[in-house]
């Protein structure tokens, strides 16, 4: 039935729409997570690049001082530096200015003969350590820097107070003798997170508004579809109406259909005898019966007017006669059906049917319909309860 088809189509569109929304949300989720990560990294990079450059300069200055003070080839440089308190003070003066609200700790460490890290200088305001005090390095990068001899950034995942550490090698004779380290507090990350959140909210807001627009658009589409549906559906029988036929004939390919015109026999008598309410009920029941027997996704039933229906049967390419099995089934069921007319009274109803087997041979739908209607006229004229097929085959089913 057309209403069922509509509901089916509607459910399909709603499923597609919901699928679209869910997919969009998943993509949004993945996208924002990636965007957040990328933004975090980029902003962190931009906001720490200058500090890192300053840190590199400081390490370079300290290297220069070592070379200036001890020459370029001293083989015992580490021990000499460890004993040189004046140099410690000079180094403290160099690395102190880097401490800010975001740079929590600034210190220089060295590796002893047991490969244990110890403090040379620590200018941190809190947790300040003494010369020679052990430093438990917390990641492999502290050792790697001795091989790569270049600055390394360590991102802390397990230390809650620190976001990153930046290690700069202090070189002497092209070897790493000390490591200048600065620890960035999480405050920087929190500030960055606040900026990223702001961007995220903006993004969410934009996407939310877009989704609202899409939802409104979809609702409008559904509303339009419903309005159209109510325009094209006959209120009494719930099948397509004449208005729909006017649209349908514009795009229907008659090559694919057999055109049938069905008319309820002696319907006027039903109306006159039992009243229009009973007549309406009989019309509804006959329409239901036709719908029950046609192929829901292939055939099209239209109430042409009064008690007359127009049925487009989708052609079975293998056999023309098998297409007409719909009519066979309908006639058989009609034969075994009685229609209530009230007060426990039932009547039999018969149909006359005119069929145009080759509607595509006509120039347009109206001509094709005219031929089917002529066949219907013949069926009526020859005693009703008959099927007349145009042009050449007479296919007759009698209901008695």
Partner 1 sequence: MRSIIFILIVASYVFGSSYVFLMEKNLDEKELEAKIVSKIGQDALGRDIAVYIPNANDTLKNTYKKFCKVVDDCKEADLIFTPSCEFVNKECQPQNKIVLSSNYKDFKKNDNILGVFFWSKARPNIVISGKRMKKFNIKLPDSYSQFIE
Please report, as ranges, the residues that interact with partner 1 according to CB under 8 A: 25, 29, 104-105, 107, 114-116, 124, 127, 129, 134-136, 138, 158-162, 183, 200-201, 204, 208
- Closest approach, Cβ 10 to partner 1, in A, equals 16
Smaller CB distance to partner 1: residue 14 or 321? 14
- In this structure, how many other beta carbons lie within 10 angstroms of the beta carbon of residue 89? 11
Phi and psi, residue 315, nearest 5°: -70, 135
Nearest CA to 133 among 143, 120, 146?
Answer: 120
51 with 58: CB under 8 angstroms? Answer: no
Distance of CA 217 to the CA centre of its chain: 16
What sign for the dihedral angle of Cα 110, 111, 112, 117? positive
Supply the Cα-derived Rg of the chain in whole angstroms: 45
**Long-range contact set of residues 193-197: C-beta below 8 Å, sequence gap at least 24:** 193/40, 195/39, 195/43, 196/36, 196/39, 196/40, 196/43
- Closest approach, Cβ 209 to partner 1, in A, equals 13
Give the length of the chain: 400
Phi and psi, residue 300, nearest 5°: -130, 125
Smaller CB distance to partner 1: residue 92 or 308? 92
Spatial CB neighbours of 347, under 8 Å, sequence gap ≥ 6: 270, 338, 339, 341
Smaller CB distance to partner 1: residue 204 or 346? 204
Smaller CB distance to partner 1: residue 197 or 364? 197
Name the one residue in this structure whose structure tokens are 């606040």: 194
- Going from the C-alpha of 206 to that of each of 17, 20, 103, 210, 215, the distances in angstroms are 19, 17, 36, 6, 14
End-to-end CA distance of the chain, in Å? 28
d(CA 145, CA 262): 92
d(CA 377, CA 338): 25
- Closest approach, Cβ 197 to partner 1, in A, equals 8
d(CA 395, CA 322): 13
- Closest approach, Cβ 119 to partner 1, in A, equals 10
Token readout for 228 is: 């159209």
Greatest alpha-carbon span in the chain: 128
- Closest approach, Cβ 153 to partner 1, in A, equals 16
């Amino acid at each position: 039935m057309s209403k069922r088809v509509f509901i089916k189509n509607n459910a399909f569109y709603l499923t597609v729409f919901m699928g679209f929304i869910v997919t969009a949300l998943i993509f949004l989720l993945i996208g924002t997570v990636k965007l957040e990560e990328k933004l975090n990294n980029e902003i962190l990079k931009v906001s720490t690049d200058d500090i890192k450059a300053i840190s590199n300069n400081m390490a370079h200055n300290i290297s220069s001082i070592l070379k200036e003070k001890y020459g370029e080839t001293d083989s015992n440089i580490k021990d000499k530096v460890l004993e040189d308190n004046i140099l410690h003070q000079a180094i403290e003066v160099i690395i102190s200015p880097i401490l800010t609200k975001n740079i929590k700790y600034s210190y220089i460490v060295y590796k002893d003969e047991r490969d244990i890290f110890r403090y040379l200088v620590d200018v941190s305001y809190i947790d300040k350590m003494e010369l020679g005090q052990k430093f438990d390095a917390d990641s492999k990068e502290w050792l790697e820097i001795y091989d790569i001899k270049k600055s390394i950034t360590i991102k802390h995942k397990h230390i809650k107070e620190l976001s990153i550490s930046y290690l700069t090698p202090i070189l002497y004779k092209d070897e790493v003798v000390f490591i200048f380290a600065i620890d960035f507090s999480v405050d920087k990350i929190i500030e960055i997170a606040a900026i990223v959140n702001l961007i995220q909210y903006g993004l969410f807001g934009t996407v939310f508004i877009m989704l609202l627009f899409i939802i409104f658009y979809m609702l409008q589409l559904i509303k339009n579809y419903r309005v159209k549906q109510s325009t094209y559906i006959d209120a009494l029988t719930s099948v397509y109406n004449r208005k729909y036929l006017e649209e349908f004939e514009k795009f229907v390919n008659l090559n694919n259909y057999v055109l049938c015109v069905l008319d309820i026999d002696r319907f006027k008598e039903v109306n006159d005898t039992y009243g229009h309410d009973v007549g309406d009920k009989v019309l509804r029941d006959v329409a239901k019966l036709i719908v029950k027997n046609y192929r829901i996704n292939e055939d099209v039933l239209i109430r042409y007017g009064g008690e007359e229906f127009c049925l487009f049967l989708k052609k079975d390419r293998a056999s023309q006669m098998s297409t007409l099995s719909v009519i066979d089934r309908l006639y058989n069921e009609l034969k075994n059906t009685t229609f209530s007319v009230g007060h426990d009274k039932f009547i039999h109803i018969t149909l006359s049917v005119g069929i145009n087997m080759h509607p595509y041979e006509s120039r347009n739908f109206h001509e094709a319909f005219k031929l089917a209607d002529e066949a219907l006229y013949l069926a009526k004229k020859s005693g009703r309860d008959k099927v007349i097929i145009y042009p050449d085959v007479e296919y007759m089913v009698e209901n008695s």
